[in-house]
Structure 1
């Protein structure tokens, strides 16, 4: 156990998050997502697992250490509900609250159509699959840089 680190962030997850560079994407998906097949084409090449975690707690854990990109309009995306792109299921509203709490600003998820989401997920650095059973608990986060008061660290 380490101080000040969420216990969900096991060694494999921390290694992947640390290895990512500015502009790399991280996918966080629910248990229904085809994680094994999609993760084969990611940089990491295999899914990481947080089987006991729901979406909100996984988003909270990841965003406790992952800086989001501030140089792009949308550093976070969600999978759109098929046929209802504006609908925000409860699982996405929970993730939205965690995103805003972590960022301390009114940051909204941008929507991605289901198959566009799969395509983008396959180009990500890493994919983390949670134990979330509710559908549409699928998100992409773009890694940013840490900023010191006088510029990048």
Structure 2
């Protein structure tokens, strides 16, 4: 057991999130997404699973350790509803609240058309499949850097 780490984050997910570099992307997807086949084409090459969690809960866990990229306009993106790009299903509204809370500010999702989302997901570092049963619970997050001024400097060592 680790302190201050969301217990939902298993060792495989923690490894992937830590191994990602600035600008790498992680997909958090619902149970309807073709996670296994898409994940085989990612950098990691295999799907990671958080089956016991819905998408907003998984996003909360992921963003508890993953800083979003502050150098891009849209570090958080969502899959568009087919035929209604402006629609925001409940799962996306709930996910938006998690993103805003993690960032401490409004960080609106950009939207990506469904088939463009699939192609983009193949370029991600990894895919995390959740147990989210609602459709359109699919998101892409771009990793940033932690610019916290109070973070220990590795050159100074730790106490």
**TM-score, normalization by structure 1:** 0.97
Partner of 1:110: 110
Report 1:113-124 matches (<5 A).
Answer: 113-124=113-124
Deviation by residue 1:36-94 (Cα, 9 ceiling, x = unmatched): 11011100001000000011110100000000000000001000000000000000000
Partner of 1:41: 41
Deviation by residue 1:13-44 (Cα, 9 ceiling, x = unmatched): 00000000000000000000000110111000
Task: Give me the CA root mean square deviation.
Answer: 1.3
Gaps of at least 5 residues in structure 1 are none
- Runs of 4+ that moved beyond 4 A: none
The total of aligned residue pairs comes to: 152
**Bigger Rg over Cα:** 2
Gaps of at least 5 residues in structure 2 are 154-159
Partner of 1:52: 52
Deviation by residue 1:97-119 (Cα, 9 ceiling, x = unmatched): 00000000111000000001001
Report 1:2-151 matches (<5 A).
Answer: 2-149=2-149
Task: Report how far residue 148 of structure 1 moved.
Answer: 3.8
Task: Report how far residue 2 of structure 1 moved.
Answer: 1.3
Secondary structure of the 1:147 match is: coil
Task: Report how far residue 149 of structure 1 moved.
Answer: 2.9
**TM-score, normalization by structure 2:** 0.93
